[in-house]
């Protein structure tokens, strides 16, 4: 059972936005959260915010509430109309969490997304330890205060074991492995800038369903919309991050996602979660940009490296990942070119 809140020096709200499409990893996520050790001198409350589309679609919310009965974890439902884009819906749910955090008068906010698995029980303790170490008064005197401490979230492409792939093939589903780069990027940024005029695009691995067959395929993804707006950044490679991990040394970064991040209350009071109409970027990019603009720094603790299960590669029913015939033809053309 998650410990109830008691009067201590500081309180943390651990919050998770989720959706019924993330149910594939729910049990592992929940076990990882419930196994976390509570840092000395802190109390912890927990909030699960179901963001399944449509306020009337409460089936998954009821399922979660039933699963978590007796744990002390608060479960809410904040379904947002499906006429709005995923970017708008995500921004809304993060601001809903921020409002709850403020209303409950917590000191800090820890966001752990529901496809991020905390495999080690000391991850929260390490984030707090790094926050306290990097936020000592003499460091603030000669530099910026810590606005957030992030773990490492990467683009995991190792999704299935050989046994699972064999099982899929027996069921007539072909697992299309697009290949994993030898030195893949993480989602932690060395540089981050918002350029309202310069268009940019790149290739990313995306989960796709083609003719009932599921896999990960390289797709050209634009970072711009009408008017040429874009966010440009450079990310740390996994080899660089492993170097820092071996050293066990936290370091300052230019940006990070909201996958596993501890946010200082004063910094959160000066920022919010937002998106920019016409720009193809989620609110995490702008949150990192804004928190630094507000005079804070973001610290990455490479010792905290949870597993990121971006989506369920065995699912062939999620409409979110299905392609139109035209898109499927483009992907096939990309694969044919890549395979010679």
The gap from C-alpha 313 to its chain's centroid, in whole angstroms, comes to: 18
pLDDT for 56: 67
**The pLDDT value given to residue 198:** 44
What kind and span of H or E run contains 213? Answer: strand 213-222
Digit-coded pLDDT (tens) for 49-101: 988 876 667 888 888 888 888 888 899 887 666 667 778 888 888 998 999 99
Residue 156's pLDDT is 59
Helices (H), the chain: 26-34, 59-67, 86-103, 123-134, 137-141, 162-170, 238-247, 265-269, 283-293, 325-338
Give residue 60's pLDDT: 86
Q: What is the pLDDT of residue 162?
A: 65
pLDDT of residue 191: 85
How far apart CA 91 and CA 281 sit, in angstroms, is 11
Give the pairing of strands 42-50 and 74-77: parallel
β-strands 213-222, 230-237: how paired? unpaired
The distance from CA 321 to its chain's CA centroid, rounded to whole angstroms, is 18
pLDDT confidence of residue 181: 47
- Domain 10-338 = CATH 3.90.550.10: yes
- In the chain, where are the structural domains located? 10-338
Residues lower than pLDDT 50 in the chain: 1-7, 174-181, 197-202, 221-228, 312-324, 327-328, 331, 335, 338-340
pLDDT value of position 9: 77
pLDDT tens per residue across span 28-55: 999 999 899 999 999 999 999 988 876 6
Q: Is the CB of residue 306 less than 8 Å from the CB of residue 260?
A: yes
């Amino acid at each position: 059972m998650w410990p109830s809140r008691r009067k201590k020096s500081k309180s943390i709200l651990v919050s998770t936005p989720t959706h019924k499409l993330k149910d594939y990893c729910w049990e592992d996520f929940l076990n990882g959260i419930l196994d976390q050790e509570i840092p000395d001198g802190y109390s912890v409350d927990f909030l699960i915010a179901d963001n399944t589309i449509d306020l009337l679609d409460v089936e998954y919310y009821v399922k979660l509430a039933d699963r978590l009965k007796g744990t002390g974890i608060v479960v809410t439902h904040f379904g947002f109309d499906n006429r709005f884009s995923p970017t708008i819906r995500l921004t809304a749910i993060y601001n809903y969490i921020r409002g709850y955090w403020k209303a409950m008068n917590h000191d800090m906010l820890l966001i752990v997304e529901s496809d991020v698995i905390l495999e080690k029980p000391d991850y929260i303790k390490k984030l707090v330890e790094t926050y306290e170490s990097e936020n000592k008064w003499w460091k603030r005197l000669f530099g910026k205060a810590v606005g957030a401490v992030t773990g490492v979230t990467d683009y995991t492409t190792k999704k299935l074991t050989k046994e699972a792939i064999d099982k899929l093939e027996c069921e007539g589903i072909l697992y299309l492995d697009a290949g994993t780069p030898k030195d893949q990027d993480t989602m932690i940024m060395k540089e981050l800038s918002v350029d309202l005029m310069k268009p940019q695009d790149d290739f990313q691995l995306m989960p796709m369903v083609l003719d009932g067959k599921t896999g990960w395929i390289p797709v050209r993804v634009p970072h711009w919309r009408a008017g040429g707006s874009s966010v440009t950044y450079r990310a740390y490679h996994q080899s660089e991050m492993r170097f820092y991990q071996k050293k066990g040394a936290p370091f300052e970064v230019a940006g990070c996602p909201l996958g596993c991040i501890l946010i200082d209350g004063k910094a959160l009071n000066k920022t919010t979660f937002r998106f920019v109409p016409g720009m193809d970027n989620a609110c995490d990019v702008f949150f990192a940009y804004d928190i630094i603009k507000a005079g804070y720094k973001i610290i990455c603790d490479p010792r905290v490296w949870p597993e990121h299960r971006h989506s369920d590669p065995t699912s062939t029913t999620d409409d979110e990942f299905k392609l139109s015939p035209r898109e499927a033809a483009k992907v096939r053309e990309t694969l044919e070119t890549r395979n010679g």
